Amino acid sequence: MRRKPWLLSKRHEQEEILGKIGRLNPILEVITASPSRINKILIQHASGKPKIQEILVSARENRIPVSFVPKKHLDRIERTNQGAIAFVTPKDYVGIDDIFDSAKTPFLVLLDGIEDPQNFGAIIRTAECAGADGIIFPERRSAGLTETVSVVSAGAMEHISLCRVKNLARTMDLLRKKDIWMIGAEEGDHGNWYEFDFTLPVALVFGSEGKGLRPLVREKCDQILSLPLLGRISSLNVAAAASVFFYEVVRQRTIGRNE
């Protein structure tokens, strides 16, 4: 039987299902943002942690099933649990138009092949903290929304729009029609990271950990900017670099509001 094009492969499907969350802060964030995604929560017997009490109260308010189990039972499911485990369904993706519906001056993040879930989670966390309206990334050559991504994002994944597209380069063409400036971040002898008016509608574009921006994606950027590397190390972690760019957007937009 011919496979329908919209179906995910078995491997990709498994990557996208979070399945379980064993950290307390992410559990609370999912309850707050998307309680319907939680199937049930297991909680360790006789745990007096304040955060677990918060989870209990929130779960009851949202009619989420809760079961109390021995610690060894939780440890068999998730060794690094903090006294509770939530079983969740995948986070829903949004369309590009959905991001624009809630964005006044769009601030988008485009990820061109970020495959390390630690980096992906860290970028999600910082982008949400910096007020980004959404993160756009391709179906292929990208980390999925795994448990690791959720944990590293510290719950931020529940509060930011995530849009997965088939072709990032074509998506950039669409964004250009919506008057979005595409600013690529890359090592090299380019302009400095602050040499753009980030009060304009903007999409910051970051390449993969090893290869950077792909040539076609780079060509579609309106400008390429860099961070100076003044030490002996010749590269900077993409999540760390992204945080500098994000807060340059925050700096410029905050200054604009305060003038």
pLDDT tens, 21-63? 888 988 998 898 888 888 899 999 877 789 999 999 999 999 9
Range with the largest mean pLDDT of 33-37, 94-98, 106-110? 106-110
> Alpha-carbon distance 156 to 12, whole Å?
22
- pTM of the full predicted structure? 0.76
Task: Look at residue 257 in the predicted model and tell me its pLDDT.
Answer: 58
Q: How open is the CA angle 191-160-167, to the nearest 5 degrees?
A: 65
Q: Could you tell me if residue 14 is inside a domain?
A: no
- pLDDT of 13 over the 70 cut: no
Where does a domain end: 69, 88, 107? 88
Same domain, 80 and 183: no
For residue 186, the domain's CATH number is 3.40.1280.10
> Alpha-carbon distance 59 to 31, whole Å?
7
Q: How many domains does the chain have?
A: 2
Q: What are the DSSP calls for 181-247, one per residue?
A: EEEEE-SSS-EETT-S-TTS-EEEEEEBTTTBS-HHHHHT-SEEEE----SS-----HHHHHHHHHH
Alpha-carbon distances of 99 from 38, 133, 197, rounded to whole Å? 24, 6, 21
Residues 6+ apart with CB under 8 A from 31: 38, 55, 58, 59, 62, 64, 86
- Give the mean model confidence (pLDDT) for residues 58-86: 92
Full domain range(s) for residue 31: 19-88
Where does a domain end: 56, 88, 120? 88
